Amino acid sequence: MKSILLIGLGRFGHHVALKLSELGHQVMAVDRSEERIDSIMPYVSSGQIGDSTNQEFLAALGINNYDVCIVAIGGDFQSSLETTALLKELGAQKIVARASRDVHAKFLKMAGADEIVYPEKQLANWTAIRYSSDHIFDYIELEDGYAIFEVEVPEKWIGQTIPALDIRKHYHINVIALRRNGDMNMDIATCGALAEGDTLFVIGRMPEIKKCFHT
């Protein structure tokens, strides 16, 4: 369990708060809006109404006591930048900041953000890739050009086992799990012959995955 300071309770911040709560973390939620704080209070450990660009207000929260500080402010980049800089100055252990554009990310990094998230961009990429192919069921982009895909088993593979196909040798990707009838199996050597309706979780570089599964 981690202690997390979440600043900004717009749609993105609200959903982050709900998920963190579901995962069992202690969340201090901060927003200028009393209405937003009231709506999230049943799900978080504590909440504060206040201006995160005010150094005295932030300092009173005991910033260095949090494992992670998430700046989820969306519509006001100036406030996001000032908040990030103040968190850094006050000794935040780790700062994750939301950005909508690359230029925002650049300035947030300069202000002290350790990591940047792009909710709109990441969702747009996921949507474009997911729905531009009939064979992709899910997709997670990793670093350095790698990704994890959940894909439909190619018709020509049906009836064969994963070890016999030697997918790593021929396509330079790894099969990490198989989903069959809703159940996940990560011990792929025991899955037996592939069947219609099976889906595979594969990891590798995106060009190899696209080539292998014609996505």
Could you report the per-residue pLDDT of 114-165, keeping only the tens digit for each? 999 887 766 666 666 665 666 777 877 777 778 888 888 888 999 989 888 8
| Mean pLDDT, rounded, of the chain | 88
Position 13 scores a pLDDT of 93
Sign of CA dihedral 58, 60, 63, 67: negative
Q: Is the pLDDT of residue 205 over 90?
A: no
Would the pLDDT of 61 be above 90?
yes
Q: How confident is the model at residue 8 (pLDDT cuts 50, 70, 90)?
A: very high
pLDDT of residue 125: 66
* pLDDT, greater one: 52 or 124: 52
Owner of token pair 């300069």: 110
Cβ-contact 1, 67 below 8 angstroms: no
| pLDDT (average), residues 70-96 | 94
Most confident range, picked from 27-36, 138-147, 201-210: 27-36
From edge to edge, which strands make up the β-sheet containing 174-180?
136-141, 146-152, 199-205, 174-180, 183-185
Contact in structure between 33 and 41 (CB atoms under 8 Å): no
Percentage of residues of the chain with pLDDT beyond 70? 93
**What global pTM score does this model have?**
0.69
Domain architecture of the chain: domains with CATH: 3-117 (3.40.50.720), 122-213 (3.30.70.1450)
Q: Please report which helix (H) or strand (E) contains residue 204, including its range.
A: strand 199-205
- Looking at the chain, the whole-number percentage of residues with pLDDT higher than 90 is 51
Write b or e for each residue in 174-183: b if 16 or more Cβ atoms lie within 10 A of its Cβ, otherwise e: ebebbbeeee
The answer to whether the Cα torsion of 162, 165, 168, 173 is positive or negative is negative
Res. 20: pLDDT tops 70: yes
- DSSP annotation of 153 reads P
Query: Which of 174, 164, 163 has the alpha carbon at shortest distance from 200?
Result: 174
Tokens representing 94 are 């780790």
